[in-house]
Amino acid sequence: MPFPKRLHQFTKEHADAVAALACGLFLFCGWFALHLGFLGWALLLLPIAYVIGGYESAREGLTTLIKEKELDVDLLMIVAALGAAGLGLWRREYYLIIDGAILILIFAISGALEGYAMQRTERSIRSLMSLTQDTARVVRRGNEEVIPIKQLQVGDEIIVKPGELIPTDAVILEGYSTLNQAAITGESLPVEKTVGDEVFAGSLNGYGALKLKLYQPPESSLIQRVIRLVQQAQTETPPSQQFIERFERGYARVIVIAGVLLLILPPFLWNWDWETAIYRALTFLVVASPCALMAAIMPTLLSGIANGARQGILFKNGAQLEMIGKVRAIAFDKTGTITTGLLEVCEVIPTSEYTKDDVLKAAVAVESRSEHPLGLAIVKAAKNLDWQAATEVQAFPGQGIVGIINNQEVIAGKDDFVKKYVANLPKNLIEIATNLELQGKTVVWIAEKRWGDGEKERWGERFHPTIPLPQHQVLGIIAIADTVRSQAAETISRLKKLGIEQIVMLTGDNQQTAESVAQELGVDRVYAELLPEDKLHVIRRLQQEYKTVAMVGDGINDAPALAQASVGIAMGTAGSDVALETADIVLMADRLEKIEVAIRLGKRTQAIVKQNITIALGFIILLLIGNFLGEINLPIGVVGHEGSTVLVTLSGLRLLKN
């Protein structure tokens, strides 16, 4: 790139810093000329410093005054600087022009530093954007083509080579690899992915080449939804900042009125000379301006949002970052939130004549022909066994399933269904099954009937009294349940230690299952057999009791409660689109322990905002007292005012650290 072009780009990217540097240079030259007695040169150079350093502030201040009919702190700074220059020319005390120029210089430097500080927050947020690919490598008509992401269509097959970013959400058709999903879900360890698994745009592929199939438009991908929500969070102003902005507009008027009174009254009340009164009034305009107060909130909230996004916690706006720190009660949906939402075999209990593998092999032989969720759980549990699929399979909806394997009739189903084939179920298994069902688990009984050579066909011809009737035997039972998330109990315990007063579980499941899960986790209250509107009513009752209530859910049926709650938290990976759109906070990795992280981040945000407001008000009060007592001049007032502004901005950026 040619030097002139590089210079233009540099000055464009660092315009505030360049303006402050040029202002400082002309100020120094003007001061040096005045020191040497070259008044003409000084009066030429110093106005240039005023124009370069104060142009942007004057433009913004006048725009606000003309368009919004409101006074702006930028305009107050310019008025104070010009007032000092005018007073210096009037009294021929030209050092006052230097004071005004110093005011503008420090204001310009402060603006540049604040700009760099805010850019650091924005860079953290914009890093999400860098995770999106512009192009994807697709297979069309047997050839690989590189096309823009926006041209992808549902059904396209995408090739991702080792070390490349996943271009859009898709399902793996071929290949095996480990993916680094840290930028999307906040998970620090790579995740193994193989055929049938879903992958997310922005994940970094490991050592294996993958062929993916696109199942939804690229704009619906998780990372695109995250980017849209983060952009929305940046533009929305939380209630606390709205209050500060309303306060600032009224406060600016008060400053102007108080400045006029300070200009007029002291010469009559305390015999100040007019020059002193004017100088003190101008200094008052500087030190009383609420710049630090204005910077006390938004940098902090934006830093908190960026911190959360880095850890897989997506705050849709700053208001929810503030609100999460005030939560007193949390309601959890059960299925898919406290539990994984996926049925798994948790126990296999054989009779004394058989082994666990015998039970699973018999069960999977018939259940492999079924699409029922219980059957899918059994197939998953038997994936490492060598088994053979049954034939002549017949399913009895809501009851069980029957099939033939190696001349054996295998029955799997409820106890009442199996009783039709087995005269007496083992008493010890009945007792175990009853206890398992009390724990909220579903019990599948497995039995078989052995046939000798030709016996099945001859029994099919009916009456053959000379052939003994084969006996059905119970092989064992299989307990299946929607397993509780491994981190659920620890999360609930830590939330209570954090000061959450009430942990509630809401579910559409039966009371017995809900009570079993709640007892295991240490949940305070359980509301079972709820419809979506029932969950909404429970949240309203909790809000009457605890004011600030969070709701954690993942499904469409949780959407009304998520919307009603003070803070709605959705599980990002497992959550439905409706839940994600309705919620205020999204946990990208479906990790419940991130709720504690979010609450701690909210509390820390509140603490830093309060500290910043205290610092800002403290500086204003001290500077006002010093000005009234005549202990500070205009440059010192500017240093104190702008220093406090930079200080609270940098204080807010502390949240960028984990």
For the chain, the average pLDDT equals: 80
- Considering 27-41, 209-223, 600-614, the range whose residues carry the highest mean pLDDT is 600-614
Lowest mean pLDDT across 106-115, 135-144, 263-272, 597-606 = 106-115
Lowest mean pLDDT across 208-212, 217-221, 426-430, 484-488 = 217-221
Distance CA 335, CA 541 (A): 22
Work out the percent of the chain whose per-residue pLDDT is above 70.
83
Q: Is the pLDDT of residue 212 over 50?
A: yes
Confidence label for 477 from pLDDT (cuts 50, 70 and 90):
very high
Confidence label for 84 from pLDDT (cuts 50, 70 and 90):
confident
For residue 466, what pLDDT is reported? 44
5 or 125: which carries more pLDDT confidence? 5
Lowest mean pLDDT across 54-58, 376-380, 464-468, 623-627 = 464-468
Can you tell me the mean pLDDT for 306-327?
Answer: 84
Can you tell me the mean pLDDT for 207-231?
Answer: 75
**Cα torsion angle, 174, 175, 179, 183, sign:** negative
Q: Is the pLDDT of residue 616 over 90?
A: no
Distance CA 496, CA 488 (A): 13
For residue 350, what pLDDT is reported? 92
Per domain, the residue ranges of the chain are 2-127+235-300+606-656, 135-220, 341-483
Distance CA 242, CA 396 (A): 62
For residue 10, what pLDDT is reported? 59
Angle of CA points 83, 88, 93, to nearest 5°? 160
- Considering 10-24, 88-102, 189-203, 352-366, the range whose residues carry the highest mean pLDDT is 352-366
For residue 352, what pLDDT is reported? 84
Dump pLDDT digits (tens) for 37-75: 888 888 888 889 888 888 877 787 778 777 777 666 677
Can you tell me the mean pLDDT for 538-549?
Answer: 91
Q: Is the pLDDT of residue 329 over 90?
A: yes
Active site residues: 333
- pTM exceeding 0.85: no
Report CA Rg, the chain: 36
Dump pLDDT digits (tens) for 354-400: 889 989 999 999 988 877 778 888 988 888 888 888 888 888 877 88
3-state SS of 615-643?
A: HHHHHHHHHHHHHHCCCCCHHHHHHHHHH
Distances (CA, A) of 154 to 169, 174, 236, 260, 574: 11, 17, 33, 68, 21
What is the dotted CATH code of the domain comprising 341-483?
A: 3.40.1110.10
Indicate the CATH number of 135-220 among 3.40.50.10490, 3.40.605.10, 2.70.150.10, 1.10.10.10.
Answer: 2.70.150.10
**Cα torsion angle, 324, 191, 656, 573, sign:** negative
Dump pLDDT digits (tens) for 517-538: 888 888 999 998 887 778 888 9
For residue 464, what pLDDT is reported? 43
Q: Is the pLDDT of residue 453 over 70?
A: no
Distance CA 122, CA 126 (A): 6
Distance CA 108, CA 60 (A): 13
Query: What's the token pair of residue 261?
Result: 């009174």
Dump pLDDT digits (tens) for 332-361: 988 778 887 778 888 899 988 888 998 999
Distance CA 83, CA 62 (A): 17
Distance CA 382, CA 363 (A): 9
What values do phi and psi take at 342, rounded to 5? -120, 130
- DSSP letter (8 states) at residue 486: T
Q: Is the pLDDT of residue 465 over 60?
A: no
